[in-house]
Chains A and B, each alone.
Chain A
């Protein structure tokens, strides 16, 4: 079980959080083609390496925030506010 550093509460066990999947997705406009909309809804990258994803401290403060996590080692490289741009 991982420990995730909530941006408000600090390190807590993973069981206090829910994962909301990949961050920084751009929602296509209503006029987007079915193909574009389908890609947005269903297709996700599955990198071996750093993955940017959003988590919510559901059993704690309730805050959503972004996590940069390595999918092999589960190392958490950084956490940052939901409104911040993706780290480069």
Chain B
């Protein structure tokens, strides 16, 4: 319990008048308005906040910002959880409930900590090695449970998220003094400028100091019209200068119906300025992960921004001049600085601090204390010299140097170079479209950073050459932050529990490439993306393999810079908007007539019209039977409809379809199969000739976009000499279909033109007609095997005509029928449904169109592919009709057909299977190897361990002569 709240005036961000209550691991605490969850926990003396990923070691709060590797918590709001939040950036809110992750049963007593005792057995890559035998999946559930981070809620997220697209001349990522300067200069020079800043206001790393220059810049930004997004972090640079950022709109508990929680910004910018500053590099020393070890700059920020002391007595382990500023600043805030142990030799130190004992060439040999720091032992950093010295302290501050946030620069394709003096990677020139300023460019001198950023902003706005950055102001740091002869565990990656020994093992096993090092040890692969670990890992690999860090190189940084919630990425594309459904023009009419709606493709359609408590199955049986006995009325509006115009339309359709369309007489219609260039059947349809240069094309409901796209591609890219226009008209025409022996009787009663009667209008013809003033295109084609009329009519007239037809049909004993009945009817007739009976391997010959191809002399799309050896293979699966041998067991759709029992090599599968009300027996279609030559054979259908014998029979099951088609 070493953290405590300091007296005013410390704490520039907090409001001491406003107390907030919150629950942490079930216990009530209070914090202040302006606190983060982390600062409130520190103020309450909470030091142990979680358990580590692999060894379940106790961990505390390590940083004060978005780089946090260890203070990872779940936020709980009723039934909802936000997993893996970084306590250091969670704004405290009244009533907040938060829990530690990765410990069970509690953070103080964690059973998983036994992993720590077996640490020698859990080296890098341990699960690749240990769990190979007999099967990783045997171990996976246990390992995942032990190693998981937060738990996601199983409830749907009530909160709302939205997406905004914006354009800007200049977008600046980072609201510190450099970013603010660049934004002000750009805006003042006339550029439309957006500034993205993580805090509740601009200021960045200096934001908590009372700083007149910052205030003046903020005022200028407002005056110059810079658009400022607060609580926002730019997480990714994508192609062609697209910058994505998430804006947090509320961190508090949700209301009864959720809140607008986050906004995703997609900003297309002429120029991007990266100004995301730098991170502090931790020191590597033994047990550097104990609660109470943290970044030096973070402790300083807690003290001054939040008025919170992280401890009473601090030892600082340093490799950077920045440690001296922290020592002075923290000392002034009331934290006793016991000693400053500087890893560097005296000559490399460029700063000093009064009243603090400084030991050059000194490092920490070990940390005392397990769940809290009690002290440390210091030794000479080079392994020579003075005797070990023990210090009592409750806080160890780590100041290893600076690691510029080069993430956006690297994401954009920029290269990095190693600066030996400052021991850091900085941008090597600018990447296309993006310029770095301030700390992330390695510029740590404030005046230089401001001057450079102002120049950059102005140059970007005016299109001048952008001045390059000159890194400066960081002082000297050593590449290595580790003492010689370090023993025990020095943690490189605190979140993924990767220690220096693991990097050593990777080097020993020759995983020397930085990409291999990363994957083998998993360093830098946790949710913090290695913000505090990457440089130490690279330096260590260099040391172990005798290379400079520059030679080791870095991995390419990839988005996201910080975790982005799935909610923000998904935005409003959830629920009904995930995949919006299309609705029938007469949707309400059907609902009023008892339609049971289901989703078919991207349409919401009646599956059936159950009456008097019927099941779907019973309704479909009744509807199918009624179609065969009298008639049925069906809404076929989703049927794909294209009009094809032009002097070369006939020639074009010959090229598109298996089936010759150019010799159709006016008013005639013909079935066609559409292939792709591989010869695969991708759609089917009916083509009707309305005039010499005008065709009507019906496609399948699901295939119309595919077909229209194929038509356009062939016309625009290949057959560019053909004079043809294709107009998709699916949504312009409704379609009411009457099917059954009494179809014409009902149409006649309603007043349709006598010229449409079966006597004068033949099967597979189309007529233009009218009902009153409603123009009609009536096609006689049938998907049921019965006399059928497909009446295409203006979409606005659909409901009225449907209503008139239904009134007459009902009087004649007809029924409304849905998709389920249609499926039964077409299967009884052996008519295929593309995508159900066919798949991505089906050729026309497989479904009985071999003769049609042989007869066609003209070329068509896919023809050459049908001559390949594989297309001519006699073993191909071919369409067959199937009946169960016992005459009553329905074959399960999708069941495999195999000769052996138990099944080994499949020789086919069942594609469509229904109970036929007409036959009182099951009917089925399937694909079967050599199927067309196996009529009468007995085959074996296998389903979930059961075997059903079936017979290959002749299709169709009903009306083989086809006489019912003609009424």
| Chain B residue, CB-CB nearest to A18 | B709
- Chain A residues, CB < 8 A from B713: 20, 56, 64
Contact call A54/B717, Cβ cutoff below 8 A = yes
Please measure, in the bound complex, the distance between the C-alpha atom of A41 and the C-alpha atom of B238, giving whole angstroms. Answer: 32
B268 at the interface (CB under 8 A from A): yes
B77: Cβ under 8 A from any A Cβ: no
Cα distance A58–B238 in the bound complex, in angstroms: 22
Contact present for B720 and A83 (CB under 8 Å): yes
Count B-side interface residues using an 8 Å CB cutoff: 23
**B678: Cβ under 8 A from any A Cβ:** yes
B836 to chain A minimum Cβ distance, whole angstroms, is 26
User: Which chain B residues lie closer than 8 Å to A63 at the CB level?
Assistant: 716
State the A residues within 8 Å of B (CB). Answer: 1-3, 13-14, 18, 20, 27-28, 30, 32, 34, 37-38, 41, 54, 56, 58, 62-64, 73-74, 82-83
Q: For residue B266, which residues in chain A have a CB less than 8 angstroms away from its CB?
A: 1
27 A-B pairs within 8 Å (CB atoms) are namely A1-B238, A1-B239, A1-B240, A1-B266, A2-B239, A2-B240, A3-B268, A18-B709, A20-B713, A27-B718, A28-B864, A30-B864, A34-B868, A37-B868, A38-B868, A41-B678, A54-B717, A56-B713, A56-B716, A62-B712, A63-B716, A64-B712, A64-B716, A73-B413, A73-B432, A74-B240, A82-B720
Query: Would you call B239 and A74 a contact (CB within 8 A)?
Result: yes
Contact indicator B865/A41 (Cβ below 8 Å): yes
Given A30-B864, A56-B712, 18 further pairs, Cβ under 8 A: A1-B239, A1-B242, A1-B266, A2-B239, A2-B240, A3-B240, A14-B239, A27-B718, A30-B863, A34-B869, A37-B864, A41-B678, A41-B865, A56-B713, A64-B716, A74-B240, A82-B716, A82-B720
B240 A37 Cβ-Cβ under 8 A: no
Q: Which residues from chain B contact A62 at a C-beta distance below 8 Å?
A: 712
Cα A58 to Cα B413 in complex, Å, equals: 29
- B94-124 contact mask (Cβ, 8 Å, vs A): 1 or 0: 0000000000000000000000000000000
The chain B residue with its CB closest to the CB of A20 is: B713
The residues of B that contact A41 with a CB separation of less than 8 Å are 677-678, 865
- Please, how many angstroms separate the alpha-carbon atoms of A14 and B869 in the complex? 39
Task: Determine if A37 and B865 form an interchain contact, defined as CB atoms under 8 angstroms apart.
Answer: yes
Nearest chain B CB to A12 CB, angstrom units:
11
Q: Chain B nearest CB: distance from A58 CB in Å? A: 7
Identify the closest chain A residue to B413 (Cβ): A73
Q: Which residues of A contact B239 (CB under 8 A)?
A: 1-3, 14, 74
CB-defined contacts of A54 to chain B, threshold 8 Å: 717
User: B716 contacts which chain A residues (CB < 8 A)?
Assistant: 56, 63-64, 82
Per-residue A-contact encoding for B839-869, CB less than 8 Å = 1, 0 else: 0000000000000000000010001110011
Task: Give the distance in Å from the alpha carbon of A54 to the alpha carbon of B716 in the complex.
Answer: 11
Nearest chain A CB to B409's CB is how many angstroms away? 15
Q: Which residues from chain A contact B709 at a C-beta distance below 8 Å? A: 18, 56, 58
CB distance from B891 to the nearest CB of A (A): 35
The chain A residue sitting closest to B870, CB to CB, is A34
Instruction: Give per-residue flags for B702-723: 1 if the beta carbon is below 8 A from chain A beta carbons, else 0.
Output: 0000000100110011101000
Residues 178-232 (chain B) with a chain A CB within 8 angstroms: none
- Quick one: closest A residue to B726, CB to CB? A62
- B432 to chain A: which residues have CB within 8 Å? 73
| B257-307 with Cβ < 8 A to chain A | 266, 268
Contacts of A83 in B (CB 8 A): 720
| B268 contacts across to A, CB distance below 8 A | 3, 13
Nearest chain B CB to A45's CB is how many angstroms away? 18
Quote the shortest CB–CB distance from B403 to chain A (angstroms). Answer: 27
Q: Do the beta carbons of A82 and B678 come within 8 Å of each other?
A: no
Please, how many angstroms separate the alpha-carbon atoms of A13 and B413 in the complex? 20
B704 → chain A, closest Cβ, in Å? 14
- Distance between Cα atoms of A63 and B715 in the complex (Å): 11
Q: How far is the CA of A87 from the CA of B461 in the complex (A)?
A: 34
Indicate if the CB atoms of A30 and B859 lie closer than 8 Å.
Answer: yes
The docked-state distance in angstroms from the alpha carbon of A20 to that of B869 is 27
Cα–Cα distance between A58 and B706 once the two chains are bound (Å): 12
Nearest A residue to B863, CB-CB:
A30
Is the pair B717, A82 in contact by a Cβ cutoff of 8 Å?
yes
Once the chains bind, are A64 and B717 in contact (CB under 8 Å)? yes
Query: Which B residue sits closest to A76, measured CB to CB?
Result: B240
**A residues in contact with B718, CB < 8 Å:** 27
Quick one: closest B residue to A75, CB to CB? B432
Nearest-neighbor residue (CB-CB) of A23 within chain B:
B717
The residue in chain B whose Cβ has the minimal distance to the Cβ of A37 is B864
B549 to chain A, nearest CB (A): 26
The interface bits of chain B over 424-467 (1 if a CB of A lies within 8 angstroms of the residue's CB, else 0) are 00000000100000000000000000000000000000000000
Q: A54: shortest Cβ distance to chain B, in Å? A: 6
How far does the alpha carbon of A50 sit from the alpha carbon of B865 in the complex, in Å? 30
* Chain B residue contacts of A13, Cβ below 8 A: 268
Q: In this complex, which of B266, B863, B864, B865 has the most chain A Cβ atoms within 10 angstroms of its Cβ?
A: B864
Complex formed: what's the CA distance from A38 to B268 in Å?
42
CB-CB contacts of B862-897 with A at 8 A, as 1s and 0s?
Answer: 011100110000000000000000000000000000
A83 to B713, CA, bound (A): 13
Given contacts A3-B240, A64-B717, A82-B717, contact A32 B864 (CB under 8 A): yes
Residue ID in chain B nearest A74 by CB atoms: B239
Q: Compute how far the CA of A73 lies from the CA of B863 in the bound complex, rounded to whole angstroms.
A: 39
Which residues of the partner chain B approach A3 to less than 8 Å between Cβ atoms? 239-240, 268
Bound Cα distance from A34 to B864, whole angstroms: 9
CB-CB under 8 A from A14, the residues of chain B are 239
Contacts of A38 in B (CB 8 A): 868
Report A22 CB to chain B, min CB distance, Å.
12
Q: How far is the CB of B716 from chain A (nearest CB, A)?
A: 4
- With both beta carbons as reference points, the residue of chain A lying nearest to B715 in the complex is identified as A64
Give A64 to B266 CA distance when docked, in angstroms. 27
Closest-CB distance, A34 to chain B (whole angstroms): 6
Query: With a CB–CB cut-off of 8 A, which chain A residues contact B712?
Result: 56, 62, 64
Measured CA separation A1–B713 after assembly (Å) = 24
- A74 / chain B contacts, CB cutoff of 8 Å: 239-240
- Chain A residues near B859: list those with CB within 8 A: 30
Closest partner residue, chain A, to B716 (CB atom):
A64
How many Å lie between the Cα of A33 and that of B540 in the bound state?
Answer: 59
**A1 to B239, alpha carbons, bound, how many Å?**
5
